[in-house]
Amino acid sequence: MHILLLSSFQTFAEKLRITTADVSTPENTDKTIELTLNKGNTEPSKYKRTFAILGGADANKFTLAGNQLTFIATAFEARSDATYRVNIKATLNLKDWSQIIETTEKTITVTVTKTNLNDGGFHITTAANVDTLEKTNKVIGLTATPIKNIFFQLTGFAIVGGADVNKFTLNGSELTFKATEFKDGSDNTYRVNIKATWKNSWWNDFETDVKTLTVTVHNRILRITTADVSTPENRTILIKLTTNQDFNKDDVIFSITNADQFEIGIINNRHLFFNYTDFEAREDHTYSVEVTARKTGTGETTTKTITVTVTDLDDEAPTNIQINDAATDINGFVTLDNDKGVGFVIGTLSATDPDTDTTTNALTFTTDSADFEIVNGNELKTKRNITTIGNIDFTVTASNHVNQSTNKDFTIKVVDAKKIVPFMITTPDVSVPEKTEKVITLKSNKGKGVSFSIVNDTDKDKFTLSGTALTFEATDFKDGGDNNYHVKIRATRGNEVVEKTLTVTIEDPTIEDPTIEDPTTGGSAKSDNAKVTAQAVRKESKSASKLLLSKVGRTLMGRLSYIRHKNKQESSFSANGFVNGIQVSFADSQTNSLINRVLSANGLSNVIPTSSRKVERWDTWTNAKVVIGKSNGSGANKTEFNLKSLNIGM
């Protein structure tokens, strides 16, 4: 049994924090930092503290042992940002009550300061970073600032630790790095801490300086060590070409192939120039060049591909200002009914800015118009009652977050609201042979800016839509079943929305396509000049169907031949010439009465009331089609029709 004291609970009542402060250190000097917490530091028998490196921008510059965080010695000139960061996680829990646990995290920074060797202080002046070839002893001469005055004298150097102290020996002022083999893919840097001591012979006083020296081992194979770089767009940059053996003072000549925006220096061929280019010049913003280095002494060569990544600058103004979701005429001009009052939303404004992320930096739209205003960022509204019919010109300015802007002039046509033609879908119903895919072109009575979509409907799975192309999938005819398939289509044009249900009918494959003689020419309806097809639906006998179709065909063929003759043998002209449409008279055998219907010449409107089909289309006079539907009969005579007359009126 464990007894948990109240004081322990009180300890955990305070939120855990890492209390270690950020630090600075002279360049080329290891820095050991003690990690501390706001509690649990003084009672190690009760509390267990653990620390871990979680990551951070410069985690590889730090090592951790217990609560001792060590920053690896680094030169001030190693990079432009002399501050290094590491993320530390701390955990605290009671040793006797492991269920109670707290964690916290903190980013600790170390700032490297530059050493001024001419400040009059005591300094080791040996270069902090040394290079050497593998399997070769490297002797490094240690140096320090000269005697400052007659009192102080340099007494010597000593090795005082370091991560790789066993790799070094010291004899007086000669530090020797032991021959070491290059390890491919591993860390080939070795560190040792050197201490220099100055003694004041009069007062028995001492001054010291400690510096970390780093030796980097290179293999003997020539390598280009120049790193890839990035640059803002439209800037020419100089890239210095280097190898792993430059410290040997070997004479190396560089050349390039597949230049892609690069040039080699004429005076100094270690200088590689990348010529300025625009970020938007192409989709791939990474440019590459193949660099070859050749040692003149041995002829050894090596090749490396160096890349430059061009980054984007916000140096482009917005373009392509548009008014969206507005009513437009067939030519695409924005229109406004003259019965709209103050505050009517005409549409929303948009623009394109390739350099700006508009999700975080929205574009700003303004106008100095006396008639319109922009509210809620991009809504274009009427500023007053506009009743006069005519054109109103105004200008919209689009600006980005760096105050680059573009103007665009617009014209809004004010139209008479009483004369506005209602928006409608004009695509007719169609029929199609069984097992045949049908592509139907969707149309409206208003031209530009119309988009179509399928609304959920009974047979929507039979249809697919791409743009204005509505495709009905190939389907079998169902004998005795319903062969009509329906889909609801929605058309959208700015703020206008309209819907229409279209019907596709599968044709009965048992109905024959008879050859009908032309009474005026003696030819048949299947001649090259004209083709007339008449269909009957569900007749009681095949002979009765043929008789009916023959009568229809002869009447149509004769009339069409006469029309072609009057129109100078032209075989195709507008169906609108049939001002009276097509008059068809049927005799209903059940009621012994006539049924007279005038069908639209375009085949789009009037349907025989009791029929599941309609006259399909009259596009040209080389292919005419008449469909005879059901009667009001019943029983055995339900579908019987007797053709009384068929007249085409002009």
Domain boundaries, given as residue ranges, for the chain: 6-113, 129-218, 229-311, 319-410, 430-506, 531-648
Closest CA to 131 of 241, 295, 250, 247: 247
Q: 322-354: per-residue pLDDT in tens?
A: 888 887 776 778 888 888 889 888 889 988 887
User: Are 181 and 145 in contact, with CB atoms under 8 Å apart?
Assistant: no
For residues 492 and 316, what is the distance between their CA atoms, to the nearest angstrom? 33
Question: Residue 135: is its pLDDT beyond 70?
Answer: yes
What single letter denotes the amino acid at residue 127? A
192 SS3 class = strand
Contact 551, 643 (CB under 8 A): yes
Q: What is the pLDDT of residue 19?
A: 92
Measured from the Cβ of residue 494, the count of other Cβ atoms closer than 10 Å reads 19
| Poorest-pLDDT segment among 94-98, 265-269, 285-289, 546-550 | 546-550
pLDDT per residue as tens digits for the range 347-367: 899 888 876 766 666 788 999
Q: Which option is the CATH number for 229-311: 2.60.40.60, 2.30.30.30, 3.30.2000.10, 3.40.50.300?
A: 2.60.40.60
Q: Which residues contact 629 (CB under 8 A, 6 or more apart)?
A: 537, 608, 610, 611, 612, 613, 614
pLDDT at 104: 92
As a whole number of angstroms, the distance between CA 101 and CA 48 comes to 10
Q: Pick the range with the lowest mean pLDDT from 163-172, 416-425, 485-494, 584-593.
A: 584-593
User: Is 182 in a helix, a strand, or coil?
Assistant: coil
pLDDT over 70 at 610, yes or no: no
**Phi, psi for 166 (deg, rounded to 5):** -70, -10
How sure is the predictor about 100, in pLDDT bands with cuts at 50, 70 and 90?
low
Expressed in percent and rounded to 5, the helix, strand and coil fractions of the chain are 10, 45, 45
Q: Which residues contact 116 (CB under 8 A, 6 or more apart)?
A: none
Q: How many degrees, rounded to 5, is the angle at CA 143 between CA 141 and CA 147?
A: 150
Residue scoring higher pLDDT (549 or 219): 219
Select the more confidently predicted residue: 478 or 638. 478
pLDDT band at 628 (very low <50, low <70, confident <90, very high): very low
The CATH class given to the 430-506 domain equals mainly beta
Domain pair 6-113 / 319-410, same fold: yes
C-alpha–C-alpha distance, residues 173 and 157, integer Å? 6
Question: Do 278 and 316 meet the contact criterion of CB atoms below 8 Å apart?
Answer: no
pTM of structure: 0.38
pLDDT in tens, 561-606: 554 455 444 433 333 333 333 444 444 444 444 444 433 333 323 3
531-535: long-range pairs with CB below 8 Å, 24+: 531/622, 531/623, 531/624, 532/556, 532/557, 532/560, 532/624, 532/625, 532/626, 533/623, 533/624, 533/625, 533/626, 534/625, 534/626, 534/628, 535/507, 535/508, 535/511, 535/625, 535/626, 535/627, 535/628
Which CATH code is given to the segment(s) 6-113? 2.60.40.10
What sign for the dihedral angle of Cα 372, 375, 380, 384?
Answer: negative
pLDDT band at 626 (very low <50, low <70, confident <90, very high): very low
CA angle 594–598–604, rounded 5-degree value:
135
Query: Is the model's pLDDT at 471 over the cut of 70?
Result: yes
Average pLDDT taken over every residue of the chain: 75
Counted residue by residue, the chain has a size of 650
In the CATH scheme, what is the code of domain 319-410? 2.60.40.60
- Architecture per CATH, domain 129-218, reads as Sandwich (2.60)
Report the pLDDT value the prediction gives residue 447, as an integer from 0 to 100: 64
pLDDT at 448: 67
Q: How far apart are CA 442 and CA 448, in angstroms?
A: 13
Q: What dihedral do alpha carbons 55, 61, 65, 67 form, nearest 10°?
A: -70
CA 177/CA 162 separation, integer angstroms: 13
At residue 601, the pLDDT reads 33
